[in-house]
Structure 1
Amino acid sequence: MTSVTPVRYPDLRSESLMTRRAWWLVVLNVLIPGSAQVLAGNRRLGRFALGADLVFWAVGILLIAGLLVARSTVVTIVTNPIVLWIVVVVLVFYALLWLICTLDTLRLVRFVRVHRVAGTIAALFSVAALVITGGGALYGAWNAGVTAGVLGTVFGDGNIADPVDGRYNILLLGGDAGADRVGLRPDSISLVSIDAATGQTTIIGIPRNLEKVPFPAKSPMAKQFPDGWNCADCLINALYTYGEEHPDLYPKAKSEGSSPGIEATSDGVEAVTGLKVQYYALIDMNGFSQLIDALGGIDIDVKTRLPIGGGQDSQGRPTGVDKWIEVGQQHMDGNTALWYARSRHADDDYHRMARQREVQTAMLKQFTPANVLTKFQAIATAGGNIVETDIPQPMLGKFVDLADLSRKQKITDLELVPPQVETWDPDYDAIHDMVADVTKVASASPTPNG
């Protein structure tokens, strides 16, 4: 007789023995699914489940180790939509396996031979453990499926760009991108310049009313406008509309995940800043409030009292205001943040640009790993609805690393607005010097954001 005989062939007449055996089987099933079957039931099922357990824990350990030593590579792999759909299938498989093992364990317990109270507690414990493990696996599968859908929609298979002069430069546009909008003009234009080694980030704000925009020599726009974008209505934010109305200027734009309007704007921004634009992101300002809500809101130190809703009378005074955004530290939901970023009351477009930059910075601070994990589904869904970009999926791991580094440092702002820049007659050589100075200083001496 072996030590396992009382478990496989118990004395059915002993209630105390059967109760102890029940707890052994239940606890073993929770800790090591399949072990109860090896000891007291179908050994083939038990060995299969134990093998699956070993694979599960081995992959988990490798994943944790990979995140510690090569996070960028791991993130690139696990954000591949194909890999994510494989994860969905695997997690559903484990949820079903744990369900089968739990039901079979409860069968092996033989509750009619177990003390009634102890048996009830053991059964409830098993069900609760199954809800946690199996439910957790199904929840993970659901999130993986949502992520695969979002990543497949937002990120494509575009070109993997190398940093230029040690920096990644991403054109960030905010506008009303609804299908019913004719002649979209970006509401905000920024160039986010990121040091490829340190993650130090500089945001260059470009006023939408910037005039006399030049173009790089190789740009199709330079052939159309050799003297620059210089006419009565030639503001920089009108480049998008012009590009969309003349798609023949950028025939490869759509196949590369961009659009003629984006490419025309990108060429103008390159000439304005002197920095090469590698990627773009277009944010639908009508929908970005969903993303802020998904993040749990943002915190802003309000300097000027601003209205929500309403309009202005003939003397510029607010009328029909729903409520006010008061001065001081405020926690804003998406709708409040949208009004804060876009309000034209009480100041000018340049102050409005500064507020938009505050919102962008506050949102970046909210993209912490803990916040993203706890609110992942809402964030992923909102992001997929409002963001359009040509950043390729294989670059996500790199940008996740850079975003994490950036959060630990102070973001540098450069606003190309009066009095430093005369938007109606800009000195672009001087602007290039300003951009070069601010990116050089930012890269040389990143400041911790204590």
Structure 2
Amino acid sequence: MTHRAWWLVLVNFLIPGSAQVLAGSRRLGRLGLGATLTLWALLAVGVAFFLFLRSALITIVTFEPVLWLVQGLMVAYAVLWLVLTLDTLRLARLVKAAPGARVWIAAATVVLLAVSAGGATVGAYYAGVTRGTLSSIFGGGAMEAPVDGRYNILLLGGDAGPDRDGLRPDTIRVMSIDAESGAATTIGLPRDMRDTPFSADSPLAGLYPDGFQNCDVSACKLNAVYTEAELRHGDLYPDAAASGSSAGIEAMKEAAEGVTGLTIQYYVLIDMQGFADLVDALGGVEVTVNDRLPIGGDEQLNNVDGWIEPGTQVLDGYHAQWYARSRHSTSDWDRMERQNTLIEAILTQFTPGNVLTKFEAIAQAGSKIVKTDIPQGMLSYFVDLATKTREQPIQSIELTPPTVDPDDPDFAAIHELIGTTLSPPDDSTSGEG
């Protein structure tokens, strides 16, 4: 009876339902075996997709109804395995097993139950976390095709720190990605750039035909476009909210198009105040600090709360945020370079293994700080593209002095610079004698 009890507990764990077929209710056993075989089949299909059709797998598992189904199935399996395990313990008849083995058999049953039913419960929980995170991050934007073979995404860092009122897009970059190779170029736009033009189809182009001048906000600089549109011209963007955007963000996209000459398909907004949570969730980010940077303080470096010292180091969220924000001891151009360095460092260290081991914390941080109008249906495509991007160096264009004078920018020259960088002329020559 002791051997029998051990065998029943083991086969129930390995092939749920088999213990009932062998020694109990065949009806319950057939239900358990059917569910087990179905699960094995689904896992086999999932492995096959992972190995050979990974993009299709990501598309399927990030589809909200599928996540609901996965969550429901995991809960159902957890309940079924709990019932089967308790029934197996009844069939084992511990009272007839050797006295010294009873405690061990019972303990093994509890451990195996925790592995099976507990694992299914955790799977259901993570499916719910994934569903909630994706729905909170991704907007209702339309699926856009690449333009001239590229996807151009506006990256906005909204600094809503404790010492500021409202959100300001102090970090403004355009990530231009080759739609086939994944080769990426980031373009840094100074927040203080003046006379910003808007794209030809922008509703603000008619209001500011000579660029962003004579506006209602205090300073007509690039990052003030967001505030201007949000407070004064929200009626010009009636469909923005439906696509997961806002008047300010749409105006910033159109301004970025005017500056770069590129078509901006999507945006990604990161709240720099919550950015610290994401870095902490990743376990910190390694960067090389070139200059001693103050934490807090004013332009005269009064009331500084601390310093970030030079050298290669792993920054936690708090210090990474100040590495990106600090500017009183250096220039805005240095600040833009640091922000680009930080973005590249995070992209490099955002590995699948890191994400999986810290999934819940990363998901919770991401849902608080990241917002985009990229449709959820394009997630698999951009995941594949990001994988290619990570394997290549990221090129950078900084529209800062001495290349560009933000107070008097030559936008025709900027367009030429960006166009030449993204599509270099063919250097091959012919007719050599």
Interval of TM-score (by shorter of Structure 1 and Structure 2): over 0.9
1:441/1:42 CA distance change after superposition, 3 Å: farther
Q: Within the alignment, does 1:238 sit opposite 2:224 as a pair?
A: yes
Q: Distance in 2 between matches of 1:94 and 1:201?
A: 44
Shift of 1:39: 0.6
Counterpart amino acid of residue 237 in structure 1 = N
Give the Cα separation in 1 of the matches to 2:89 and 2:43: 28
Q: 1:77 aligns with which of 60, 65, 71?
A: 60
The one-letter code of the counterpart of 1:270 is E
- The alpha-carbon deviation at position 181 of structure 1 amounts to 6.7
Is 1:277 the counterpart of 2:264? The answer is yes
Q: Partners in 2 of 1:201 and 1:126 — Cα distance? A: 53
- Report what 2:41 is aligned to: 58
| SS of 1:211 mapped into structure 2 | coil
Q: Which residue of 2 aligns with 1:433?
A: 416
Q: Please report the TM-score for the alignment, with normalisation by the length of structure 1.
A: 0.89
TM-score normalized with structure 2 length: 0.93
Match of 1:126 among 104, 109, 116: 109
Aligned to 1:215: 198
What aligned pairs does 1:16-31 form with structure 2 within 5 A after superposition? 18-31=1-14
Q: 2:321 aligned to 324, 334, 338, which one?
A: 338
- For residues 218 and 332 of structure 1, what CA distance do their matches in structure 2 show? 43
Displacement after TM superposition at 1:197 (Å): 1.1
Q: Secondary structure at the match of 2:144?
A: coil
Match of 2:255 in 1: 268
User: 2:283 aligned with 1:292, yes or no?
Assistant: no
1:49-108 CA-to-partner distances (Å, cap 9, x unmatched) read: 111011111111111211222222221221122221221111011111111111111111
Unmatched tracts of structure 1, length 5 or more: 1-17, 445-450
Verify: 1:257 aligned to 2:240, yes or no.
Answer: no
| Displacement after TM superposition at 1:294 (Å) | 1.0
Instruction: Say whether the 8 Å CA contact 2:13–2:112 is kept in structure 1.
Output: yes
Q: Which position in structure 2 is the counterpart of 1:448?
A: none
Moved more, 114-123 or 395-404: 114-123
Q: Offset at 1:184?
A: 4.1
1:360-379 pair list within 5 angstroms = 360-379=343-362
1:403 aligned partner, one-letter code: A
Superimposed CA distance per residue, residues 347-392 of structure 1 (whole angstroms, 9 cap, x where no aligned partner): 1000001111111111112221111111111111111111121111
State the distance in 2 between where 1:241 and 1:198 align. 36
Alignment of 1:196 onto 2:182: no
Q: State the secondary structure of the residue aligned to 2:423.
A: helix
Question: Cα RMSD between the aligned structures?
Answer: 2.0
**Match of residue 143, structure 1, among 83, 104, 126:** 126
2:77 corresponds to 1:90: no
Code of the residue aligned with 2:354 in structure 1: it is: N
2:157 corresponds to:
174
Q: What residue number does 1:12 align with?
A: none
- Say whether the 8 Å CA contact 1:81–1:149 is kept in structure 2: no
**Using the alignment, how far apart are the partners of 2:22 and 2:273 within structure 1?**
60
Q: Any stretches of 5+ residues in structure 2 without a counterpart?
A: 428-433
Task: Give the distance between the partners of 1:326 and 1:177, measured in 2 at CA.
Answer: 25
- Three-state SS of the structure 2 residue aligned to 1:264 is helix
Could you tell me how far apart the structure 2 residues matched to 1:391 and 1:179 are? 29
Assess, with a 3 A threshold, how the Cα gap between structure 1 residues 87 and 308 changes in structure 2: closer, same or farther. Answer: same
Q: Is the 8 A contact 1:282 1:389 kept in 2?
A: yes
Q: How many angstroms apart in 2 are the aligned matches of 1:275 and 1:236?
A: 16
- Any conservation in 2 of the 1:40–1:108 contact (CA below 8 Å)? yes
Q: Which of 146, 152, 177 is 1:163 aligned to?
A: 146
Aligned residues with identical type, % of pairs: 55
Cα pair 2:191 2:223 within 8 Å, conserved: yes
CA distance in 2, matches of 1:57, 1:406: 34
Partners of 2:297 and 2:403 in 1: CA distance: 33
> One-letter code of the match for 1:164?
V
